[in-house]
Amino acid sequence: MLELTQRPQKIIHCDCDCFYASVEMRDDPRLRELPLAIGGQADQRGVIATCNYVARKFGVRSAMPTSQALKLCPDLVVMRPNMEKYRIASRQIAAIYRDYTELVEPLSLDEAYLDVTHAKQHQGSATRIAQEIRARIAAEVGITASAGVAPNKFLAKIASDINKPDGLYVILPEQVSEFVANLPVAKLFGVGKVTAQKLHQLGVNQCSDLLTWSLADLVAHFGKLGSSLYSLCRGVDTRTVEPSSERKSVSVEETYSRDLPDLAACIAEVPELYAALQKQVDRTKAHEHINKLNIKIRFKDFKQTTVECRAQELSEAKFVELLTTGFERRKLPVRLLGLGIGLAAKPRDDQLPLF
């Protein structure tokens, strides 16, 4: 029998609105009225990282090729990302979060979960804390953020998207059952396009449709995900906010404006990528935790392959070996190369030695 009781929580999910674009509009207010996108250039096979809401009215979206975005919106202003500027803003926002709780789980530079179950501010009101956090981000960082407040992470994340941009949505414990019953199954955590399509074929469109399914039937149809579906359609999510998530990898990649025609041309690009990776490793202080090297290759036909090996230090020669192995799998012109490292988990301070 699945245990559906859990300790009451007060979770806030904060998500900055079109973060990269918002920082640029903050620094140049003239951009606020223009369709703006942050991403790569069209003549270099660039992709849109994010865009402001003016651009979204034209159908421009994240992950869209810049060339396609410009067809939808010929007046689109495309700016290259300034990651250091965005990191500074992200650190300012993180400092605001930690004025209320140490239980902060960052998901990206502009998105995080906060567990304010035991927060003392505003007599413990998660709603008022979320309001104040949003007001401080606007006043101190100069951009807007949306937030969702709910009894768990699953619902808080959905709530934060409801009143975007610059909005707040609250799901009280007594509202959970009704809210989730009307939720499309495609919104459930872990449900992608393929699973959603399978659910629809089974006549399951909303969470209320899932309530008639037994746990055994869901597991039979969907494996481990079935157990999650059984809980989520009842508004139950027992995941906790994890403030100590560690970096698991460091990588760099380059999409080329012209395909690299052969292996020799690919190998010629390794030194520049390797130098960029070294800088990233230095910046993240990851040298002592390397346990894998890997290379990613995307070919002309958009098929992708990766190759990795065990290693405890960077080696340009080893990356060339991995590249050679990967290239031989298809022997086609290459549009993207990436170098990366995998990191071993850092030992806990309280972990006892083996001997």
34 burial (CB, 10 Å; 0-12 / 13-18 / 19+) is middle
AA letter at 118: H
Report long-range pairs for 62-65 (Cβ below 8 Å, ≥24 apart). none
15 labeled binding residue? yes
110 labeled binding residue? yes
Can you count the helices (H) and strands (E) in the chain?
13, 12
Please say whether the beta carbons of 129 and 96 come within 8 A. no
The residue from 111, 269, 313, 321 that is catalytic is 111
Is residue 308 part of the annotated active site? The answer reads no
Q: From CA 129, how far away is CA 138, in angstroms rounded?
A: 14
202 burial (CB, 10 Å; 0-12 / 13-18 / 19+) is middle
What DSSP designation does 185 have?
G
Nearest in space to 339 (alpha carbons), one of 321, 351, 352: 321
Q: In this structure, how many other beta carbons lie within 10 angstroms of the beta carbon of residue 23?
A: 23
Provide the b/e sequence for 325-335 (b: ≥16 CB within 10 Å): ebbeeeeebbb
Alpha-carbon dihedral sign for residues 180, 186, 190, 194: positive
Q: In this structure, how many other beta carbons lie within 10 angstroms of the beta carbon of residue 226?
A: 17
Residues acting as catalytic residues:
111
Residue numbering of the annotated binding site: 15, 110
Residue numbering of the annotated binding site for Mg(2+): 15, 110
